[in-house]
A and B are shown apart, each in its own frame.
Chain A
């Protein structure tokens, strides 16, 4: 049964000036993630167990509570912490990376990163979507193949 009430997701695309291998590293090595996946006025602490089923945690630390960020935790030193964590579901170096994403703003979501060589660089596509609660249960026992295809997804290309 396909439902017209859509399963929300957002798609963002960007061309970056490095080859797929390097971009894949930047997405998966904590010491590199910490250098770009940071809030505008802050830093990040990252650790991961990089294997399918392994978890990651990425804590973004802002100097000030930001009005555009929901649900940060105030720390004793006056900074604000925004914890992002999840599980790696698919690792296909250097083209595809899928992980769950739980942050103070959104829980039970999935991020799919796709990398495609293009014009001497890499076309990056990030898809951020909600996970079906049924699907989430299945994830612990079986793979994702098929589940995704069966979903009626709301698709909105946020990037132009």
Chain B
């Protein structure tokens, strides 16, 4: 179950990791387009665009329907929610780690201070015993 979710998330992140694919998603967020229409603003071959669409489809970010000879694409943006939730988890991870970092650095400082105060105490003792 967790692995399946992770795989899905991976696909969404992979799909979003490309500027062209993000641009395509944005186009489709405004409404359905045929594959040719999707390709129109991009300086890429139809084959290249088709590849991007496949990646988006694998991530369930778009759906394709065939209308006669024309393939229509539609954005299904729900998986983005889980992608952002995963980012929130990453945020939580770093917040915890930075807390731990601060704690570690504080303890380290105290440790050094303790050492210094013990050495100065023993130095004082030595001075007194002289």
- Chain B proximity of A128: nearest CB distance (Å): 5
B94–A126 CB distance below 8 A: yes
A17–B22 CB distance below 8 A: no
A4–B16 CB distance below 8 A: no
B109–A18 CB distance below 8 A: yes
**Per-position binary interface string of chain A over residues 1-31, scored 1 when its CB falls under 8 Å from any chain B CB and 0 otherwise:** 1011111111110111110001100100000
B19–A12 CB distance below 8 A: no
Is A107's beta carbon under 8 Å from chain B?
yes
The contact of A17 among B16, B19, B105, by CB within 8 Å, is B105
A38–B100 CB distance below 8 A: yes
Is A41's beta carbon under 8 Å from chain B?
no
Q: How far is the CA of A4 from the CA of B16 in the complex (A)?
A: 12
- Chain B proximity of A120: nearest CB distance (Å): 11
Range, interface on chain A? 35 or more
Q: How far is the CA of A126 from the CA of B94 in the complex (A)?
A: 8
The contact of B2 among A1, A7, A14, A71, by CB within 8 Å, is A71
The contact of A108 among B13, B23, B29, B95, by CB within 8 Å, is B13
- Chain A proximity of B112: nearest CB distance (Å): 10
Which A residues are within 8 Å of any B CB, using their own CB? 1, 3-12, 14-18, 22-23, 26, 32, 35-38, 40, 68, 70-71, 104-109, 124, 126, 128, 130-134, 151-152, 156, 158-159
Which B residues are within 8 Å of any A CB, using their own CB? 2-3, 5-6, 9-10, 13-14, 16-19, 22-23, 25-26, 29, 83-84, 86-92, 94-106, 108-109
